[in-house]
Amino acid sequence: MQHTQVILTADTLDVPSCINWIMSPQSGGIDVFIGTVRNATKGKSVLRLEFEAYEPMAISEMEKICRQAFDQWPVQKVLVHHRTGTLQVGEIPVIIAVSAAHRAAAFEACRYIIDTLKQTVPIWKKEIFEDGEVWVAAHP
Amino acid sequence: MKINVLAFGVAKEIFGSSLVSLELTNDATIYNLKYLLEQQYPRLKQLASYMVAVNNEYALPGDTIHERDEIAIIPPVSGG
C-alpha cells in the first residue's frame, strides 16, 4: 500500500518526516494529529508511560483502520506511527497524518483513525506514578 | 489438545507470565477457553472486559479453537 504508512517502533517519532511523507502535489491540505504524554491524569502526577503492543496484530489492525479511512473518505495518503516502550512527559506516542484534496475529508479521516485506534488496536499503556502504577482502562 | 495463550498488559500480570499453556478439548470454543482461564485466574473477571484474538484477529465466543492457532488475551486496549 504505497499510500499508507504504518509503523510501530521503539524509536522516537519524528513529526517533520511524517509531514514530508504525507505531502503530495495532489493534496489541498494535510491533517496531523500528534498525541503527547500528559503530566497528570485525574489530578495525579504521571512520571512516565510504558507502552506495550501485540505487534503483528497491532500492525494489522492499524492497516485495517487505514483501509477503512480510504473506503469512507476521498483521502490521498494516510500515515500512522505508534511508539512502544517507555515515554517521558511531553514525548510523542502517536502521530496520525492524512492528506486529501479538500480539508473536510482530511479532518474527518484523521479523527476516525485516532478514535478507532484507541478502541481496537492491541496496544496498552501503563501510567507510572510516584506511588504506584496502573494499566489504563483495565478495570471498571 | 494443548494450546499456548499469549498475554499482554494487565493480563500478563494476572497470569504471572506472557505465555501460559492449557489443555482444551479438540472442539473447544473461545467461550470454553475464557471459562477455563477464569477458573484458573479469577482476577480476569475483575477486568472491565477482555477479548481473545486468534491468529491476529478478534474472535467471537462461538469460534472454534484449533491446535497451533495463535491465541492471545486482549485486555482493554489503551493505545494512542
CATH of residue A60: 3.90.1170.40
Chain A residue whose CA is closest to B54: A57
Helix (H, G, I), strand (E, B) or coil at A38: coil
Residue A117 lies in a domain: yes
Q: Say what the pLDDT of residue A119 is.
A: 98
Burial annotation A93-119 (CB, 10 A radius, 16+ → b, else e): bbbbbbbbeeeebbbbbbebbbebbbe
A114-123 pLDDT per residue, tens: 999 999 999 9
Residue type, A35: G
Interchain proximity A125–B79, CB inside 8 Å:
yes
The pLDDT tens digits for A28-66 are 999 999 999 999 998 999 999 999 999 999 999 999 999
pLDDT at A25 over 70: yes
Confidence of residue A136 (pLDDT cuts 50, 70, 90): very high
**Residue A138 located in a structural domain:** no
CA torsion through residues B45, B16, A124, A56, sign: negative
Would residue A137 count as lying in a domain? no
Query: Is pLDDT at A126 greater than 90 in this prediction?
Result: yes
Q: Does B56 touch chain A (CB under 8 A)?
A: yes
Each domain of chain B, given as residue ranges in start order, spans: 2-74
Supply the DSSP string of A102-127, one letter for each residue: SHHHHHHHHHHHHHHHHHHS-EEEEE
Chain A hits for B74, Cβ within 8 Å: 54, 122
CA distance B7 to B9: 7
CATH number attached to the domain at B2-74: 3.10.20.30
The reported pLDDT for the residue numbered B52 is 98
Shortest Cα distance from A81 to chain B (angstroms)? 10
- Per run of 10 residues, the mean pLDDT along chain B (length 80 residues) is 97 97 96 97 97 98 96 98
- Grid cell locating B76: 482493554
Q: Give the pLDDT confidence of A65-110 residue by residue, as tens digits.
A: 999 999 999 999 999 999 999 999 999 999 999 999 999 999 999 9
pLDDT at A2: 78
Concatenating the DSSP letter of every residue in B10-31 gives HHHHHHTSSEEEEE--TT-BHH
pLDDT on residue A1: 53
Facing B80 at nearest CB: one of A54, A57, A118: A118
Q: Give the model's pLDDT for residue A9.
A: 98
Name the helix (H) or strand (E) containing A21.
helix A15-22
pLDDT at B1 (0 to 100): 95
- The answer to whether the beta carbons of residues B30 and B48 sit under 8 Å apart is no
Give the range of the structural domain holding residue A11, as residue numbers without chain letter. 4-130
ipTM of predicted complex: 0.96
Is A135 inside any structural domain? no
Cα–Cα distance for residue pair B33/A103, rounded to 1 Å: 47
Enter the C-alpha cell of residue B46.
475483575
Domain total in chain A: 1
